[in-house]
Amino acid sequence: MLQIKNLHASVGGKAILNGLDLTLPKGEVHAIMGPNGSGKSTLAFLLAGREGYEVTAGGVTYEGRDLLAMAPEERAREGLFLAFQYPIEIPGVPTASFLKTAVNAVRKARGLPQYDAVEFLKILKAKRDFLGIGDDMLRRALNVGFSGGEKKRAEVLQMLLLEPRLAVLDETDSGLDIDALRIVAEGINALRSPDRAILLITHYQRLLDYVVPDRVHVLTGGRIERSGGKELAQELERQGYVGTAA
């Protein structure tokens, strides 16, 4: 589904990714772990198409297509979803209406009929109950004044509604208490299916107790230094990132 080959990228002339290789097949969940500044968020933003990154070598294919040539909205419509580490505030736009606008934009691009308000509310209700999100939060402007946990749950709600084929979650576990972490993890697990792939970017092993990955990769200095099974995450938790390159 996703193939990253020898990816080199820089921001403002500073090299961040230095020959990153990664293959993520359909149906699998991979975790990328690494210390601060190793290039984790750069990778997430690059995959989603944020401006400001210069790809100096290598490339990315998504379902056989050149991902980097696609506009951000095109990637989204083709099923790529990024859960932001720091979700952005959109003042004055109620969360529910933002969700409906996004879902309908994607459905329209896929040639599916758009939901009217009544249909959408039904779909929304099922998913939000699952995440413990109340009506009040859906009425408030998106991410404005949300607590850290609410923001992360809102990201997962968007993910469940948009039903992506490739979900990239950038530190969705950070800043969550144990109950919120469990809810978020259930949301991610609900998305797992043989047709989908999930890339979990995380600093800690904690989330991986709830969402068990098929593969774990260690990102340091802008490239994958090590890959292994789920037990690699536990090893990292014990030993830290120092020395893993050996």
Partner 1 sequence: MAASPDSNLAVHSTIGEKYKYGFVTDIEADTAPKGLGEDTIRFISAKKDEPRWLLDWRLRAYRAWLGMEEPDWARVGYPKIDYQDAYYYSAPKKKSAPGSLDEIDPEILKTYEKLGIPLGEQQRLAGIAVDAVFDSVSVATTFRKTLEDAGVIFCPMSDAVRDHPELVQRYLGTVVPYTDNFFATLNSAVFTDGSFAYIPPGVRCPMELSTYFRINAAQTGQFERTLIIADKGSYVSYLEGCTAPMRDENQLHAAVVELVALDDAEIKYSTVQNWYPGDENGRGGIYNFVTKRGACRGRNSTISWTQVETGSAITWKYPSCILQGENSVGKFFSIAIVNNRQQADTGTKMIHIGKNTRSTIVSKGISAGRAQNTYRGLVRVQPGASGARNHTQCDSLLIGDRCGAHTVPYIESRNRTARIEHEATTSKIGEDQLFYCRQRGLSVEDSVSLIVNGFCREVLQQLPMEFAVEAQKLVGISLEGSVG
CA 217/CA 241 separation, integer angstroms: 12
- Any contact of residue 73 with partner 1 (CB under 8 A)? yes
Give the residue with the Cβ less far from partner 1, 69 or 245: 69
> Of 1-9, 28-36, 87-95, 170-178, which segment contacts partner 1 by CB under 8 A?
87-95
What are 2's strand-pairing partners?
A: 24, 62
Beta strands in the chain (DSSP E): 2-11, 14-24, 29-33, 54-62, 65-66, 80-83, 166-170, 197-202, 215-220, 223-228
Q: At what angle do helices 148-162 and 178-191 cross, to 10 degrees?
A: 10
CA 86/CA 137 separation, integer angstroms: 18
If you write DSSP's letter for every residue of 61-74 in order, what string do you get?
EETTEEGGGS-HHH
Contacting partner 1 (CB under 8 A), which of 6, 50, 69, 182? 50
Give the residue with the Cβ less far from partner 1, 17 or 84: 84
Q: How far is the CB of 58 from partner 1 (least distance, A)?
A: 22
Task: Considering only residues 154 through 213, tell me which ones interact with partner 1, judged by CB under 8 A.
Answer: 158, 162
Contacting partner 1 (CB under 8 A), which of 1, 31, 46, 76? 76
- Any contact of residue 92 with partner 1 (CB under 8 A)? yes
- Contact residues toward partner 1 (CB under 8 A) are 48-51, 71-73, 75-77, 81-82, 84, 87-93, 98, 101-102, 105-106, 109, 141, 158, 162
